[in-house]
């Protein structure tokens, strides 16, 4: 998980969310309240549809899975985290990024 050049404000806000969620996980874990963060990578959205196709190709080339993610793939992680299958997952950042490091 990393920031991009020219987006330091965006990266700082995301880092704040990560720190906040880890603190909340420690504070509320004893009450069986879990707090996790999903960190999507390059996901096809309305925001990415307006990008130049060459920009999209460049991003896809940098992703080990060689494609953009789908919103449904992020939603699947939400379903997992909201289910009992993740009952012992707390204070984590879950990347959904096709292996982009």
For the chain, the domains span 8-96
Catalytic residue among 3, 7, 8, 10: 10
**pLDDT above 90: residue 63:** yes
Confidence band for 20, pLDDT divided at 50, 70 and 90:
very high
Higher pLDDT residue, 87 or 9? 87
Q: DSSP letter at 68? A: -
* 3 pLDDT higher than 80: no
Rounded to an integer, the average pLDDT of 44-65 is 91
pTM: 0.86
- Whether the pLDDT of residue 68 is over 90: the answer is yes
Active site residue 10: yes
Cβ contacts of 76-80, under 8 Å, gap ≥ 24: 77/38, 78/38
Architecture of domain 8-96 in CATH? Answer: 3-Layer(aba) Sandwich (3.40)
Q: What is the pLDDT of residue 6?
A: 84
What pLDDT was estimated at residue 39? 95
4/88 Cα distance (integer angstroms): 32
């Amino acid at each position: 998980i990393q920031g991009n050049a020219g987006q330091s404000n965006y990266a700082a806000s995301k880092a704040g969310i990560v720190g906040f969620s880890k603190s909340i996980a420690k504070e509320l874990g004893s009450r069986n309240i879990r707090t996790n963060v999903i960190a999507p990578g390059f996901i096809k959205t309305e925001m990415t549809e307006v990008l130049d196709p060459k920009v999209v190709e460049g991003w896809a080339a940098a992703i080990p899975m060689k494609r953009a993610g789908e919103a449904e793939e992020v939603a699947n992680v939400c379903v997992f985290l909201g289910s009992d299958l993740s009952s012992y997952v707390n204070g984590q950042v879950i990347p959904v990024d096709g292996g982009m490091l």
